[in-house]
Amino acid sequence: MKIILDAMGSDNYPVPDVAGAVQAAREWGDEIILVGRKEIVRNELAKHDAANLPITIVHAPEVIEMHEHSNAVKRKKNASIRVGMRMLKQGQVDAFVSAGNTTAVLASAIFDLKRIRGIRRPALGSIYPVANGPVFVLDNGATADCKPEYLLQFVQMGIAYVEHVWGISNPRVGLLANGEEPDKGSMLVRDTYTVLAESGINFCGNVEPKEITRNAADIVVTDGFTGNVMLKTTEAVASFLARYLKQELTGGTLNKIGLALMVPGILAMLPGLALMLPSLRRIAGRLDYAEYGGALLMGVDGVVIVGHGRSNSKAIKNAIGQARKAVQGDVMQAIRKRVAKEQK
């Protein structure tokens, strides 16, 4: 398998990007192509012990920065995002991974890769980070304004993914809403309810956020605006609570004295805490988006993974891991088949 990685992607490119590629090549042995400014990427790669790893560099003289408007995509024909996308289109690689400007990756995917024939709009699909079991949520931000037909196609793409990558057949599909009854939600949600109920999928009706955290569906569909707000709210709440706990527990004189008084207790707890380490690690992992890597851009004609701008090397490695899974599960072919079937 050959995966091309945008070396100029993350907020701190090329450091985490190149490091993540090295980790992925070492762990899985896949061929990784780094696309970006050759000098910069080569210098960064030289910092790693990567001489024996299957990593090569493809030069892309331009960079689309995080703050740039998506129209930079048209102007910068030789940006790393566009060079990578074209190589994917030409079949030179199996997947493209970028933690760069999401809007630019989306625009380039639609422009250079094109949509899969029959697909109306693309969707970003990813695992919801706060749930008892895996829940695949889409759209997380590709298509802000949706129609019921788009959401039905998102569901079909989600089923293709969950069946072929997670191995769950006939997955349960929920529609994100603010109440369980069919007449709850916006006009879009109510209309989509009818379309999904009649579509022959395993539809379990409207789901609220608390049901998502309880794994009440394998797939949850929503428009890209609501999905993005839900995901960003999830991140914001988790990070606020962590910040708040830390600040409350370590700020103020009473707390400082309290903490000092607790030192003997904390020391006495160490043997017990050591045994609990695996659990504590699991908790941290659960909240760490680096574990998930990124989102799959679905509906375009190739495997594209969009990583988080704040990605560290582990997140980049895991984004490459997600690309591998999508390629191994042949998700593209599964989506094409489902869409063709729908259109008959």
Q: Determine if 340 is a binding residue for a copy of itself (CB under 8 A).
A: no
CA distance 15 to 40: 10
Q: Determine if 74 is a binding residue for a copy of itself (CB under 8 A).
A: no
Q: Determine if 105 is a binding residue for a copy of itself (CB under 8 A).
A: no
Of the candidate residues 51, 200, 210, 343, the single one contacting a copy of itself (CB under 8 A): 210
Q: Determine if 7 is a binding residue for a copy of itself (CB under 8 A).
A: no
Query: What are residue 293's phi and psi, to 5 degrees?
Result: 85, -55
Q: Which of 93, 99, 63 is nearest to 80 (CA)?
A: 63
- Nearer Cβ to a copy of itself (51/274): 274
Q: How far is CA 283 from the centre of its chain?
A: 20
Q: Which residues contact 124 (CB under 8 A, 6 or more apart)?
A: 138, 139, 140, 141, 142, 224, 227, 295, 296, 297, 298, 306
Least distance in angstroms from the C-beta of 261 to a copy of itself: 4
Ranges within 265-294 binding a copy of itself (CB under 8 A): 265-276, 278-280, 282-283, 286-287
Amino acid (1-letter code) at residue 87 = M
Q: Determine if 258 is a binding residue for a copy of itself (CB under 8 A).
A: yes
CA distance 233 to 255: 29
CA distance 161 to 157: 6
Q: Determine if 174 is a binding residue for a copy of itself (CB under 8 A).
A: no
Interaction pattern, residues 180-199, with a copy of itself; x per rule: CB under 8 A: -x-x-xxx-x----------
Ranges within 213-242 binding a copy of itself (CB under 8 A): 213, 223, 225-226, 228-230, 232-241
Q: Determine if 259 is a binding residue for a copy of itself (CB under 8 A).
A: yes
Helix (H, G, I), strand (E, B) or coil at 167: coil
Stretch of 4-12, 57-65, 74-82, 175-183 contacting a copy of itself, by CB under 8 A:
175-183
Q: Contacts from 117-121 at CB under 8 Å and sequence distance 24+? A: 117/336, 117/339, 118/339, 118/340, 118/342, 118/343, 119/153, 119/157, 119/299, 119/300, 119/335, 119/339, 120/147, 120/149, 120/150, 120/153, 121/146, 121/150, 121/153, 121/299
Ranges within 127-156 binding a copy of itself (CB under 8 A): 130-131, 141, 144-145
Contact 318, 285 (CB under 8 A): no
- Nearer Cβ to a copy of itself (163/223): 223
Helix (H) or strand (E) holding 17: helix 15-28
Least distance in angstroms from the C-beta of 308 to a copy of itself: 13
- Nearer Cβ to a copy of itself (91/265): 265
Q: Which residues contact 59 (CB under 8 A, 6 or more apart)?
A: 35, 36, 37, 38
Q: Determine if 101 is a binding residue for a copy of itself (CB under 8 A).
A: no
- Nearer Cβ to a copy of itself (197/266): 266
Amino acid (1-letter code) at residue 103 = T
Count of residues touching a copy of itself (by CB under 8 A): 69
Q: Determine if 252 is a binding residue for a copy of itself (CB under 8 A).
A: yes
Binding site for a copy of itself (CB under 8 A): 69, 130-131, 141, 144-145, 176, 178, 181, 183, 185-187, 189, 208-210, 212-213, 223, 225-226, 228-230, 232-241, 244-245, 248-249, 251-252, 254-255, 257-262, 264-276, 278-280, 282-283, 286-287
